[in-house]
Amino acid sequence: MTKKSILYFPEYGESNTSAVTDVVRERLSEGGIEALVVASTTGKTALGLAQMVRLESDLPIICVSDPPWAKYYPAITSDNRQALEKLEVEIVDRVPYASHSHSVGPCKNMYGTLDLRVMIFDAFRLVGGQGLKVAMEVGMMATDGGRVKPGAIILCVGGTGTGADCAIVMKAGFSVDLLSRKSERRAHVREILAMPLKKKWRW
């Protein structure tokens, strides 16, 4: 049996980024993490975390940003991209959103049916807000993009809009295996390290 604490924020959003960074540092020091995956549209949040981690570790770090069909692609600024690459941070910005077809127009398929996974991503929001949904999503996107092996234990950071307000440890898995008949293939949350109490709803 293991007893651990969770950091709860009264509000969601960028103001929690510094506290999330501290939580990430503390959890990484405990060991057992194979990679750090950070949701970072412009690269700013990933850069801040990478600068902290690189002071102590050569742990693989993955920055996950928006794919090519995002209206503001490429979202990572050139300066941030260069700084991330200098810190040997891998960038994932050509992989589809793990939740895109599930939470954006879920009935817009050839059969007009609801994908059950839309309810799972909404359940992530119900528990930990947009930040938890994003943290889970980028973990799967890093796996889909070949930067993380399925089954790896990874620490993922997500946020609501900008910055970071959620950190989790998860077992990595491909997004297509989220509801696999083989349970060993499914991604799942192992630890919640930090999350906001107030949620920003998307519906």
Query: Cβ-count burial of 187 within 10 angstroms (0-12 exposed, 13-18 middle, 19+ buried)?
Result: buried
> What pTM value is reported for the model?
0.92
Which is nearest to 150 in space by CA: 171, 179, 176?
Answer: 171
Instruction: Tell me if the domain spanning 7-196 has CATH number 3.40.50.720.
Output: no
Which is nearest to 172 in space by CA: 125, 124, 140, 137?
Answer: 140
Q: What does the domain layout of the chain look like in residue ranges?
A: 7-196
Q: In this structure, what DSSP letter does residue 9 have?
A: E
Per-residue pLDDT of the chain (203 residues; tens, 9 = 90+): 988 999 999 999 999 999 999 999 999 999 999 999 999 999 999 999 999 999 999 999 999 999 888 788 889 999 999 999 999 999 999 998 887 654 455 456 666 666 677 778 888 888 999 999 999 999 999 999 999 999 999 999 999 989 999 999 999 999 989 888 999 999 999 999 999 999 887 66
